[in-house]
Amino acid sequence: MKVIFRYLFACAFLLEVQSVFAQIETPIMGWSSWNTYRVNISDSLIKRQADAMVDQGLKGAGYTYINVDDGFFGYRDEQGNLCTHPKRFPNGMKAVADYIHSKGLKAGIYSDAGGNTCGSLWDKDMNGVGVGLYGHERQDADLFFNQWGFDFIKIDYCGAGQQLELDEQKRYTEIVKAIRETAKKNVSVNICRWAFPGTWAKDLARSWRISPDIAPDWGSVRAIINKNLYLSAYAGEGHYNDMDMLEIGRGLKQEEEEVHFGMWCIMSSPLLIGCDLTTIPESSLNLLKNKELIALNQDPLGLQAYVVQHEGAGYVLVKDIEQKRGKVRAVALYNPSDEVCAFSVPLSLLELGGKVAVRDLVKQRDEKKIRDSLCYDVPPHSVKILRLKAEERLEPRHYEAEWAYLPCFNDLAKRSRGVAYKPYGKASGGMIVSNLGGKAANYAEWKEVYSENGGEYRMRIAYVPAQGNAREVKDRRLEVEINGQKTCITELESDPAKGVCHVTLPIDLRQGYNSVKIGSAYTWTPDIDCFTLERPVKNKKN
């Protein structure tokens, strides 16, 4: 009897867990026309790719979107109605969307926040002039989503930024409001501003581009990964950093394709294939269909891996999968350099204890069980993507500044003194957060500082006294807020030559998750490296 009750209880618990997860949308998976065809697309080409998506088994592997990028535009008629390219799409776009839907797939479309498309600027496609959303927001939303039936839109910024110099947040807010009020279906929106646009993006879009356009070469893949290394705090709850469409199947070396796909998966980027699906090389197709890597990307927690160790050329990234703060974690040992990189990662850094089972997700094979540390030599331009299952999950005691959520951060390079991630050799992880403070909103927040039992800790903050005029440096302070309780530290080292300095304060954490904020409402803070938590001696047994 007891056993039956336990079984029923376990089932109820699982259902509960599933229903919580069911609410999070995972990154979209599909195909997009831009990388291979640029503006040279047509209805027959798009249909062939939709056919191949099914025939190659990609639909079965989870790829569902067929996205028409730039190139379908014709002109606007006298009433401002958008007409499609008469030669490339003679039967209009509804027929294309209908065909895609008839294959059990979803259909995506493209436009620009301004008047002209990027293709009109860079590909000299004159049909892209005057066809953007500017001044036609509701009219186009009705056409794209209600009349034609598209499910997704990518909204580019060439016409809006380079030609009209509009404000990103204001412009995308207007457009998305028009879409939400007009479309009779829930449209998936992608913001394409080629840099992390700001924390407002998650209120408007499922995903946002964080980098310039990808190209089918190693330098481009590496540069995009580099852009995304410290953006994990902005992804989550069904909203994602978009690392751009995949260049797999377009000539990269095998190990570089593995880095490309593996890192897009562990960083929870949308996965939009960009090659010709009818001629895709077999090894690329197999990689794109690797179930275990896809599961990492489509994991129900929807988290982006963050950098937990950066020593020499190598980066170690980690994220929870399957269950938050559970005993299973995904890890990437990423070597972007041209030399072999020897990784040695203490398992305590990954918050794992006891014996740990290791599975290589690229090779899809189990490795030897480990204890204490994870050691691999990783060849140049390569990655190991691993699933670790431990006997124990340890309480975290170390929090890097570069993991924090910075509400005022963006990568648009428009402000001279905006809060930013800055390399600093002597800092742990080689990275600090600079230009914090100056106003109440400009703080760093660690939203999930975890304590098993709650109680007293000693918080040791590592900071770097920043350069500046003497008065300003002297005024720097740290306002530390634990679950809304603020302490102000004014006695700080002011000589930048001292490098990384420390200050310690006693704090109280509650059991479970805590919010820790560091900022300074009126003056600047010194640059922040990280903080660590220790139990005071009298409480050591906790």
Is the CB of 248 or the CB of 420 nearer to ligand GLA?
Answer: 248
**Which range binds ligand GLA by CB under 6 A, 111-119, 302-310, 397-405, 471-479?**
111-119
Q: Answer yes or no whether residue 118 interacts with ligand GLA by CB under 6 A.
A: yes
Q: Answer yes or no whether residue 119 interacts with ligand GLA by CB under 6 A.
A: yes
Indicate which residues carry an active-site annotation: 156, 213
Q: Answer yes or no whether residue 242 interacts with ligand GLA by CB under 6 A.
A: no
Q: Classify residue 439 by its DSSP letter.
A: S
**Which range binds ligand GLA by CB under 6 A, 76-84, 115-123, 133-141, 511-519?**
115-123
* Shortest distance (Å) from residue 215 CB to ligand GLA: 11
Query: Dihedral angle at the C-alpha atoms of 202, 204, 206, 212, nearest 10 degrees?
Result: -80
* Shortest distance (Å) from residue 109 CB to ligand GLA: 11
Considering only 31, 34, 424, 524, the residue that binds ligand GLA (CB under 6 A) is: 34
Q: CA-CA distance, 68 to 107, in Å (whole number)?
A: 8
Q: Which of residues 151-170 bind ligand GLA (CB under 6 A)?
A: 156
Is the CB of 194 or the CB of 446 nearer to ligand GLA?
Answer: 194
For residue 142, the one-letter residue type is D
Is the CB of 179 or the CB of 272 nearer to ligand GLA?
Answer: 272
Tokens describing residue 144: 């794209």
Cβ atoms within 10 Å of 161's Cβ, excluding its own: 19
State the Rg of the chain over Cα: 25
Distances 440 to 19, 201, 409, 451, 519 between C-alpha atoms, Å: 37, 21, 14, 27, 7
Is the CB of 156 or the CB of 320 nearer to ligand GLA?
Answer: 156
Q: Answer yes or no whether residue 133 interacts with ligand GLA by CB under 6 A.
A: no
CB 288 within 8 A of CB 58: yes
Q: Answer yes or no whether residue 411 interacts with ligand GLA by CB under 6 A.
A: no
* Shortest distance (Å) from residue 156 CB to ligand GLA: 5
**Which range binds ligand GLA by CB under 6 A, 112-120, 235-243, 279-287, 421-429?**
112-120
* Shortest distance (Å) from residue 287 CB to ligand GLA: 22
* Shortest distance (Å) from residue 491 CB to ligand GLA: 49
Q: CA-CA distance, 453 to 257, in Å (whole number)?
A: 44
**Which range binds ligand GLA by CB under 6 A, 15-23, 117-125, 247-255, 330-338?**
117-125
User: Closest Cα to residue 261, out of 375, 119, 361, 164?
Assistant: 361
Considering only 27, 33, 68, 70, the residue that binds ligand GLA (CB under 6 A) is: 70
Distances 420 to 27, 378, 416, 538 between C-alpha atoms, Å: 26, 30, 11, 39
Distances 212 to 182, 192, 227, 233, 412 between C-alpha atoms, Å: 30, 9, 10, 20, 11
Q: Which string of x and - marks every residue 167-206 that binds ligand GLA (by CB under 6 A)?
A: -------------------------x-x------------
Q: CA-CA distance, 350 to 521, in Å (whole number)?
A: 34
User: Closest Cα to residue 39, out of 149, 125, 130, 142?
Assistant: 125
Residues that bind ligand GLA (CB under 6 A): 34, 69-70, 117-119, 156, 192, 194, 213
